């Protein structure tokens, strides 16, 4: 079993409330919100005020993915704005232990994110302090990129790291997830699948969530 977490990065921001209601009606329970600062990644998206507004209009789990420098200065503010899950990049934070602890103490699930060019072994310490790991299967910054195939082996390596240590850490994957690969990434150990363009890039986001959810073990 896995969950689909639609990423609003590919949504129509003028009709955001309707877009969110559509994916919720399709069965999604987690909403992925990509926060970019134009420094950690070469793109700028949305921040705290939008998270506050989304919080008022949905009961879905809000999953904020912080692609920002110095995430430790902002992570708890996102919890206060209404996020239920907050993740920070291992590459962006020399004080990731403190940041993860702060997120947990503020009452949210704490996640650590790993870029495609960062070895999984970089998580060996942080994984003890995280509720979930977000494995990037594209380089962060933009929606609609192609899934990097090597991510499958990295998922397996991460799954093994977690089980060898007997930890209860969920694995989320982000980037290029669609109907052609969702079953394979589930098989490799991912439990939360972020999907942006494969959901909001279609005419019927609710149906897209249903289709991705029902992929089961069928490989395309
Ligand atoms: C990329 C973001 C993703 C993005 C995924 O930097 O972190 O969450 O929205 O979009 P797709 O599913 O189109 O690759
Ligand atoms: Zn993301």
Q: List pLDDT tens digits, range 96-140.
A: 999 999 999 999 999 999 999 999 999 999 999 999 999 999 999
pLDDT at 160 > cutoff 80: yes
Whether ligand 1 lies within 6 angstroms of the CB of 144 is answered as yes
Q: pTM (2 decimals)?
A: 0.97
Residue 145 Cα: closest atom of ligand 1: 14
Position 80 scores a pLDDT of 98
Q: Which domains does the chain have, with CATH numbers?
A: 3-212 (3.20.20.70)
Position 11 scores a pLDDT of 98
Region 43-66: mean pLDDT is: 98
More confident residue, 8 or 1: 8
Position 75 scores a pLDDT of 98
CA of 147 to the centre of ligand 2 (A): 13
CA of 180 to the centre of ligand 2 (A): 19
Q: Which helix (H) or strand (E) holds 51?
A: helix 48-57
Position 217 scores a pLDDT of 52
CA of 142 to the centre of ligand 1 (A): 6
pLDDT at 219 > cutoff 70: no
Whether ligand 1 lies within 6 angstroms of the CB of 6 is answered as no
Task: Determine whether 34 is an active site residue.
Answer: yes
Question: What rounded mean pLDDT belongs to the chain?
Answer: 97
DSSP single-letter state for residue 171:
E
């Amino acid at each position: 079993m896995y969950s689909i977490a639609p990423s609003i990065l590919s949504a129509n921001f003028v009709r955001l409330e309707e877009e969110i209601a559509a994916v919720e009606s399709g069965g999604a329970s987690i909403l992925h919100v990509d926060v970019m600062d134009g420094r950690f990644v070469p793109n700028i998206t949305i921040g705290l005020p939008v998270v506050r507004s989304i919080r008022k209009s949905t009961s879905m789990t809000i999953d904020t993915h912080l692609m920002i420098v110095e995430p430790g200065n902002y992570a708890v503010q996102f919890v206060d704005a209404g996020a239920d899950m907050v993740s920070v990049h291992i590459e962006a934070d020399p004080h990731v232990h403190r940041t993860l602890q702060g997120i947990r103490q503020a009452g949210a699930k704490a996640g650590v994110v790993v870029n495609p060019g960062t070895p999984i072994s970089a998580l060996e310490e942080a994984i003890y302090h995280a509720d979930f790991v977000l494995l990037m299967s594209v380089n962060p910054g933009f929606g609609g990129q192609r899934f990097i195939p090597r991510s499958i082996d990295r998922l397996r390596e991460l799954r093994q790291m977690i089980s060898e240590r007997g930890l209860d850490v969920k694995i989320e994957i982000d980037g290029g997830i669609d109907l052609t690969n969702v079953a394979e990434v589930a098989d490799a150990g991912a439990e939360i699948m972020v999907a942006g363009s494969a959901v909001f890039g279609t005419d019927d986001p609710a149906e897209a969530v249903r289709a991705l959810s029902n992929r089961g073990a069928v490989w395309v």
